[in-house]
């Protein structure tokens, strides 16, 4: 199942992608043929219910009449929608640094012996297609990543059971300003500027993507392929990362984990030409769609 959020007069609404259509779950749940009072109608309800709601939504969709775009009214054309971030308000945003050996090498840094964790804040979240304002910034860099969304609460999760706590996956771009990132020993300032975490456009449930370590990961700057790797090359795989984080903090539905970027970032290149207003970066991880954002600024 592929979830999206989209803008409406009432704020972000929750939908399920079906071909070129999006099923508006709030409207669909009102259909007498498929009424399910337990099915989530909003993004907040989706993550409050976590993994347990996926089967409810499946049953709801199975009971609805055959649909085409515009008929019934809850069947919307995706191209007509303004999509939002698939996880609009994550409880925690936890990032893993230097999780690809080649990226550690290009950064002239050691490969960590344990996951190198840092955080971003919710103000950094932005949808695919949205502009990112970099006014006054001088060393803006891209980082294509696989993002993991937690779907079941857990503490001290065994690695063998870690993927059972994953709701799904989405594309992410861990945008960074390197001059701010290395101003102190903490990465926070250069990582958490407004709009510095584009995610989306889709959230694919874990049952649709059985092995997160079997995904190509690519990134293009203005159409030029800059990053090309594979999630099998992670130093610490997704299951280990989830288990490791849960040793120290409880993971909750809707928490977002960024799993690290492969080689090809600007900081590792000899030309060292940072991104500028007008540049566009596109991220593709496996079947998760295309995450595209353009930079703007004075």
Q: What is the mean pLDDT of residues 148-172?
A: 98
Q: What is the mean pLDDT of residues 125-140?
A: 98
- pLDDT the model gives residue 18: 87
Question: Taking 90 as the threshold, does the pLDDT of residue 29 lie above it?
Answer: no
Q: What integer best gives the mean pLDDT of the chain?
A: 94
Q: What is the mean pLDDT of residues 129-146?
A: 98
Model pLDDT for residues 204-215, shown as the tens digit of each residue: 999 999 899 999
- pLDDT the model gives residue 72: 76
Question: Taking 60 as the threshold, does the pLDDT of residue 140 lie above it?
Answer: yes
% of the chain with per-residue pLDDT over 90: 82
Question: Taking 80 as the threshold, does the pLDDT of residue 28 lie above it?
Answer: yes
Question: Taking 60 as the threshold, does the pLDDT of residue 170 lie above it?
Answer: yes
Banded pLDDT at 177 (limits 50, 70, 90)? very high
Architecture label for domain 93-296: Alpha-Beta Complex (3.90)
Cβ-based burial of 129 (10 A; exposed 0-12, middle 13-18, buried ≥19): middle
- pLDDT the model gives residue 6: 97
Q: What does DSSP assign to residue 129?
A: T
Q: What does DSSP assign to residue 81?
A: S
Single out the residue of 101, 107, 138 nearest to residue 267, CA to CA.
Answer: 107
Spans of all domains in the chain:
2-84, 93-296
Q: Which residue has the tokens 């779950």?
A: 25
Q: CA 142, CA 226: separation in Å to the nearest integer?
A: 10
Banded pLDDT at 244 (limits 50, 70, 90)? very high
- pLDDT the model gives residue 161: 98
- pLDDT the model gives residue 34: 60
- pLDDT the model gives residue 32: 67
Q: What does DSSP assign to residue 14?
A: E
Banded pLDDT at 41 (limits 50, 70, 90)? confident
67 against 12, higher pLDDT = 12
C-beta separation of 162 from 227 below 8 A:
no
The model scores a pTM over 0.85:
yes
- pLDDT the model gives residue 35: 56
Question: Taking 80 as the threshold, does the pLDDT of residue 260 lie above it?
Answer: yes
Q: Give the β-pairing of 280-285 and 216-221.
A: antiparallel
Q: What is the mean pLDDT of residues 217-230?
A: 98
- pLDDT the model gives residue 73: 82
Q: CA 199, CA 7: separation in Å to the nearest integer?
A: 16
C-beta separation of 106 from 268 below 8 A:
yes
- pLDDT the model gives residue 39: 79
- pLDDT the model gives residue 184: 87
- Tell me the two tokens of residue 114: 């344990």
Q: What does DSSP assign to residue 111?
A: P
Model pLDDT for residues 64-114, shown as the tens digit of each residue: 776 677 677 889 999 999 999 999 999 999 999 999 999 999 999 999 999
């Amino acid at each position: 199942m592929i979830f999206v959020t989209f803008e409406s007069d009432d704020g972000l609404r929750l939908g399920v992608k079906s071909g070129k259509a999006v099923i508006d779950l709030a409207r669909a749940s009102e259909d007498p043929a498929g009424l399910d009072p337990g099915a989530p109608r909003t993004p907040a309800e989706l993550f409050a219910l976590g993994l347990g709601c996926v089967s409810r939504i499946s049953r709801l969709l199975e009971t609805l009449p055959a649909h085409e775009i515009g008929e019934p009214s809850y069947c919307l054309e995706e191209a007509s929608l303004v999509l939002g971030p698939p996880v609009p308000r994550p409880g925690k945003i936890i990032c893993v640094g230097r999780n690809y050996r080649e990226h550690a090498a290009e950064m002239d840094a050691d490969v960590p012996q344990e996951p190198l964790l840092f955080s971003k804040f919710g103000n950094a979240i932005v949808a695919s297609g949205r502009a990112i304002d970099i006014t006054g910034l001088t060393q803006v860099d891209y980082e294509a990543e696989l993002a993991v969304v937690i779907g079941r609460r857990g503490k001290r999760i065994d690695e063998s059971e870690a993927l059972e706590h994953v709701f799904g996956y989405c594309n992410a771009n861990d945008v960074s300003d390197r001059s701010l990132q290395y101003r102190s020993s903490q990465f926070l300032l250069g990582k958490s500027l407004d709009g510095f975490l584009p995610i989306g456009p889709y959230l694919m449930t874990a049952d649709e993507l059985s092995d997160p370590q079997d995904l190509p990961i690519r990134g293009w700057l203005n159409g030029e392929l800059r990053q090309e790797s594979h999630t099998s090359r992670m130093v610490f795989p997704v299951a280990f990362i989830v288990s490791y984080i849960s040793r120290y903090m409880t993971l909750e539905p809707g928490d977002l984990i960024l799993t690290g970027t492969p080689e090809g970032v600007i900081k590792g290149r000899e030309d060292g030409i940072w991104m500028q207003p007008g540049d566009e970066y596109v991220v593709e991880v496996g079947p998760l769609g295309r995450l595209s954002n353009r930079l703007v600024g004075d």
